[in-house]
């Protein structure tokens, strides 16, 4: 009989599925939802005025406030999906979307 | 239905009732309850769907969500509707089942008529149906997430897990029916037959029109015709072996659908039974009749007519006849 190759890395079997497909809280952290991004935000810290628009507008909430000393916000690229909202909303246009190399 | 899912997810015994457009409005959510394994019971007073606007009985509402994953039962009369509303919880909340149950009762014919019933005694109901204990719930003391993303890596397995649970529920449904009989004395089967043992032509249907069909069968038997009846009480999971046993030996089946699958020349009940029996050596000739759409009366002579047509067409070697009975054109 012809063998088929199942194109998945995950080895979750039917019997492994928990009743009701539930999970422990915070399990989304295990999924690096940024891995299908096609472009990532790159910040020009010279121009940044630390206004926080990027932090507020990011739909995934991936920006971290680096504090009044550092005076900038840094995206967690494990979860940034590359939508470009931060770059579009930045009043100083200091975020560039850089194409990810494959 | 969204509120019911929330209620059940919080651990409460949950019941709702709907019909027709109301069911369709919440069709999206009906697929979620079984996947989350929430034992909600929903009575559906089966009624037609628009257009044209119609509030009377047929099965087109529930057939639209046929594949939603709920256990689905069709009842015949008020007594059965009453009994099944208790049995449904027993089935749904069985720890080996944990699936929602749709209790289909014909709109108006059963939902709006007065008939005498034996009301189940409270003490016996308590004995039959213990207090509900959930297996998994939203609890701030022990938090879990429900309604998760199922990426391609796991979606197939998750769907199979739900299907496996639904198929496996059949033996627990039989057990719930048997134990109900022990306590209340009324015995229900997955497929009910009437004078079908030596029948050459068997009418197959679901719901309350079985009562008229039985009277018609009696009259045809009196006239010397070898006619019987098989009624599917359980629709999902489909009672495969029980249906096969019920129609064994019959030369012809006259299968009744109360729903029209627009664009396909057959109703869902007929399609499924035909598919089921297709590879059997001596399968019966199958004719399909659409009856009683949108509250159209189904008197005894309709059953005599479909038996005659099934015999005429079946004996002429026709396999796969489809007809809307009583349509004026
Ligand atoms: S590109 Fe989108 S997801 Fe990434 S940091 Fe900017 S706003 Fe957030
Ligand atoms: S929106 Fe632009 S200027 Fe404002 S904090 Fe973010 S990067 Fe800096």
B86-116: per-residue pLDDT in tens?
999 999 999 999 999 999 999 999 999 999 9
Among protein residues, the one with the nearest Cα to ligand 2's atom 2 is: A90
User: What's the gap in Å between the CA of B164 and the closest CA on chain A?
Assistant: 9
The pLDDT score that the predictor gives to residue B115 is 94
Mean pLDDT within B286-308: 97
The pLDDT score that the predictor gives to residue B80 is 98
**Ligand with smallest separation from the Cα of A58:** 1
The pLDDT score that the predictor gives to residue B315 is 80
The pLDDT score that the predictor gives to residue A7 is 66
State whether B136 and A16 contact (CB < 8 Å): no
Residue B314 reports pLDDT greater than 70: yes
Q: CA geometry: angle at B92 spanning B87 and B96, to 5°?
A: 115
Residues of A with Cβ-Cβ distance to B135 under 8 angstroms: 19-20
E strand or H helix at B285: strand B285-290
State whether A19 and B157 contact (CB < 8 Å): no
What percent of chain B stands above pLDDT 70?
A: 100
Q: What is the pLDDT of residues B30-81, one digit of tens each?
A: 999 999 999 999 999 999 999 999 999 999 999 999 999 999 999 999 999 9
Label residue B13 by pLDDT band (50, 70, 90). Answer: very high
The mean predicted confidence, pLDDT, of chain B is 96
User: What's the gap in Å between the CA of A63 and the closest CA on chain B?
Assistant: 23
State whether A21 and B150 contact (CB < 8 Å): yes
- Say what the ipTM of the complex is: 0.81
Domains belonging to chain A, first-starting first, are: 43-102 (3.30.70.20)
- Taking 3-state DSSP, the helix, strand and coil percentages for chain B, each rounded to the nearest 5, stand at 40, 15, 45
Residues contacting B234, CB < 8 A, separation 6+: B71, B72, B73, B74, B170, B173, B190, B191, B242
Q: Are A83 and A73 in contact (CB under 8 A)?
A: no
According to DSSP H, which parts of A28-95 are helical?
A: 53-57, 67-70, 85-89
State whether A21 and B148 contact (CB < 8 Å): yes
The pLDDT score that the predictor gives to residue B255 is 98
Burial class for B3, CB neighbours closer than 10 Å (0-12, 13-18, 19+): exposed
Residues of B with Cβ-Cβ distance to A19 under 8 angstroms: 37, 98, 135-136
State whether B143 and A25 contact (CB < 8 Å): yes
Pocket probe mutation, ligand 1, options A36, A59, A61, A85, max atoms within 8 Å of Cβ: A85
Nearest CA in chain B to A26: B145
Q: Please choose, from the candidates B95, B66, B63, the residue with its C-alpha nearest in 3D space to the C-alpha of residue B169.
A: B95
The pLDDT score that the predictor gives to residue A31 is 80
Q: Are B253 and B284 in contact (CB under 8 A)?
A: yes
The pLDDT score that the predictor gives to residue A52 is 97
Domain B191-324, architecture per CATH: 3-Layer(aba) Sandwich (3.40)
The pLDDT score that the predictor gives to residue A3 is 80
The mean predicted confidence, pLDDT, of chain A is 91
The pLDDT score that the predictor gives to residue A9 is 66
Nearest CA in chain A to B164: A14
Q: Are B285 and B321 in contact (CB under 8 A)?
A: no
Burial class for A1, CB neighbours closer than 10 Å (0-12, 13-18, 19+): exposed
Kindly report the pTM of this predicted structure. 0.90
Mean pLDDT within A79-89: 97
Q: What is the pLDDT of residues B209-260, one digit of tens each?
A: 999 999 999 999 999 999 999 999 999 999 999 999 999 999 999 999 999 9
Q: Which residues of B touch A (CB under 8 A)?
A: 35-38, 98, 135-136, 143-146, 148, 150-154, 157-158, 160-161, 164
The pLDDT score that the predictor gives to residue B11 is 97
Question: Residue A95: CB within 6 Å of ligand 1?
Answer: no
Q: What is the pLDDT of residues B118-165, one digit of tens each?
A: 999 999 999 999 999 999 999 999 999 999 989 888 999 999 999 999
Two tokens, residue B206: 């679901």
State whether B143 and A16 contact (CB < 8 Å): no
State whether B153 and A8 contact (CB < 8 Å): yes
Q: Measure CA B95 to chain center.
A: 22
User: What's the gap in Å between the CA of B31 and the closest CA on chain A?
Assistant: 12
Question: Residue A62: CB within 6 Å of ligand 2?
Answer: no
Find out whether the peptide bond into B237 is cis, omega within 30 degrees of 0. Answer: yes
What percent of chain A stands above pLDDT 70?
A: 96
Q: Which atom of ligand 2 is nearest to the CA of A50?
A: 5
Most A CBs within 10 A among B144, B150, B151, hence the mutation to make, goes to B144
Chain region(s) in chain B for CATH 3.40.50.920: 191-324
Q: Are B203 and B231 in contact (CB under 8 A)?
A: no
State whether A19 and B98 contact (CB < 8 Å): yes
Q: What is the pLDDT of residues A4-52, one digit of tens each?
A: 777 666 678 999 999 999 998 888 777 888 888 999 999 999 999 999 9
CATH number of B2-184: 3.40.50.970
CA A87 to ligand 1 center in whole angstroms: 8
Question: Residue A80: CB within 6 Å of ligand 1?
Answer: yes
Q: What is the pLDDT of residues B156-209, one digit of tens each?
A: 999 999 999 999 999 999 999 999 999 999 999 999 999 999 999 999 999 999
Q: How far apart are CA B213 and CA B303, in angstroms?
A: 6
Two tokens, residue B325: 């009975």
CA A86 to ligand 1 center in whole angstroms: 5
């Amino acid at each position: 009989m012809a063998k088929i190759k199942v194109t998945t890395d995950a080895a979750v079997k039917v019997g492994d599925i928990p009743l009701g497909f539930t999970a422990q809280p915070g399990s989304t952290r295990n999924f690096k939802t940024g891995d299908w991004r096609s472009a990532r935000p790159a910040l020009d810290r010279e121009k940044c005025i630390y206004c926080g628009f990027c932090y507020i507008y990011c739909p995934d909430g991936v920006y971290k406030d680096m504090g009044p000393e550092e005076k900038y916000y840094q995206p967690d690229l494990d979860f940034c999906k590359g939508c470009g909202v931060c770059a579009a909303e930045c009043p100083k246009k200091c975020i560039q979307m850089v194409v990810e190399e494959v | 239905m969204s509120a019911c899912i929330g209620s059940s997810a919080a651990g409460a015994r949950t019941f709702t009732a709907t019909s027709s457009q109301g069911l369709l409005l919440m069709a999206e959510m009906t697929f979620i309850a079984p996947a989350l394994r929430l034992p909600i019971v929903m009575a559906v007073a089966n009624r037609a769907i628009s257009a044209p606007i119609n509030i009377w009985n047929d099965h087109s509402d529930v057939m639209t969500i046929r594949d939603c994953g709920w256990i689905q039962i069709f009842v015949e009369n008020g007594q059965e509707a009453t009994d099944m509303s208790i049995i449904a919880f027993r089935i749904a909340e069985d720890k080996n089942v944990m699936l929602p149950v749709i209790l289909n009762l014909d709109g108006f014919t059963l939902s709006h008529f007065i008939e005498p019933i034996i009301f189940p005694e409270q003490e016996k109901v308590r004995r039959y149906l213990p207090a509900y204990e959930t297996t998994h719930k939203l609890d701030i003391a022990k938090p879990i997430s429900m309604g998760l993303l199922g990426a391609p890596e796991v979606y197939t397995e998750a769907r199979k897990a739900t299907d496996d649970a639904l198929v496996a529920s059949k033996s627990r449904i039989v057990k719930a029916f048997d134990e109900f009989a022990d306590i209340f004395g009324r015995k229900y089967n997955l497929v009910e037959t009437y004078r079908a043992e030596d029948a050459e032509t068997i009418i197959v249907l679901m719901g309350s029109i079985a009562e008229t069909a039985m009277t018609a069968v009696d009259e045809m038997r009196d006239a010397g015709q070898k006619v019987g009846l098989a009624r599917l009480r359980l629709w999902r999971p489909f009672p495969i072996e029980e249906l096969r046993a019920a129609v064994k030996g019959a030369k012809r089946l006259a299968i009744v659908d109360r729903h029209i699958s627009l664009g396909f020349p057959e109703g869902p009940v007929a399609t499924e039974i035909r598919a089921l029996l297709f590879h059997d050596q001596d399968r019966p000739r199958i004719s399909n009749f659409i009856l009683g759409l949108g509250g159209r009366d189904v008197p005894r002579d309709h059953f005599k007519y479909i038996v005659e047509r099934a015999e005429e067409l079946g004996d002429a070697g026709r396999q796969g006849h489809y007809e809307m009975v009583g349509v004026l054109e």
